[in-house]
Amino acid sequence: MMRLASWNVNSIRARSESVVAWAVDADVDVVALQETKCTDDGFPVMSFLAAGYDVAFTGSGGYNGVAIASRIGLDEVEYGFEGQPAFDGEVEARAISAVCGGVRVWSLYVPNGRAPGDPHFVYKLDWLTALRDRAALWLAHDPAAQIALAGDWNVAPTDADVWDTAEFEGKTHVTDAERAAFDAFAQAGYTDAARPYLDTAKTYTFWDYQQLRFPRNQGMRIDFVLCSPALNDRVFDASIDKAARKEPGASDHAPVVLDMR
């Protein structure tokens, strides 16, 4: 069995001990981390190594940043993907991948978009399109490839993935353009592997810190692991660990966990 998780940790330096402790306690083999918010020389490598996890990471400071921690191998690390768009002339630290136990695992932090009409929104759509085109090529090259696209996608693909559709009217994450960009991955052959195993009513992965959103379960499901066909065939269970969100000083996201044969 292989247990794979994806988690936006919202600053790894602030939460490295709790993240590592969670991974050990949850018996996770590989965890894709997003929004690490630290430079490479500031990444808390030793916390992971001491727990038996190799770790690869890329970051540039107070924003963005992604990493992969694995106790079943961490090979052929790639930083970013071919054709990854830039914003204001910079290719941001939003994508990293490695082969872990025979699976090409990607940790992805999709741009937020800020607001429809904002240049960052155009960047977000371009970023998703470029990733989708590249992911489709990977499967065209090898239909049996084992690929996990894990991360914070900053898209709620259906109305059931937000606590109140009226609350998000005219805002990012729920627009037709964003949802179409997300759905394009399914058309390319990738599956939201967790969905069949979740009670989709009021099941979320993100709750804002403001206005008691978490105690009221006023959240969004925006964190996903999209699996290639060969990998999706191996999935037999999935969960969202809300308990991790309850911990003192926790990230505003909860981990998404997949179990695979």
**Helices 176-187, 119-141: crossing angle, 10 deg rounding:** 10
pLDDT score at 111: 98
pLDDT score at 199: 87
Q: What is the tally of structural domains in the chain?
A: 1
pLDDT score at 201: 81
pLDDT score at 62: 87
Render pLDDT for 53-101 as a digit per residue (tens, 0 to 9).
Answer: 999 999 998 899 999 999 999 999 999 999 999 999 999 999 999 999 9
Within 8 A by CB and 6+ apart from 131, the residues are 81, 84, 95, 108, 149
**HSE, side-chain direction, 13 A CA sphere, residue 34:** 29
What is the distance between the alpha carbons of residues 167 and 213, in angstroms, rounded to a whole number?
12
Question: pTM above the 0.95 mark?
Answer: yes
Q: Which range of residues forms the domain containing residue 183?
A: 2-260
What is the distance between the alpha carbons of residues 199 and 144, in angstroms, rounded to a whole number?
29
* DSSP secondary structure letters along 132-196: HHHHHHHHHH-TT--EEEEEE-----SGGGBS-GGGGTTSTTSSHHHHHHHHHHHHTT-EETTGG
By mean pLDDT, which of 17-31, 142-156, 199-213 is the weakest? 199-213
Contact 149, 231 (CB under 8 A): no
Q: For the domain that residue 239 is a member of, what is the CATH number?
A: 3.60.10.10
* pLDDT over 80 (residue 200): no
Render pLDDT for 164-178 as a digit per residue (tens, 0 to 9).
Answer: 999 999 999 999 999
pLDDT score at 61: 84
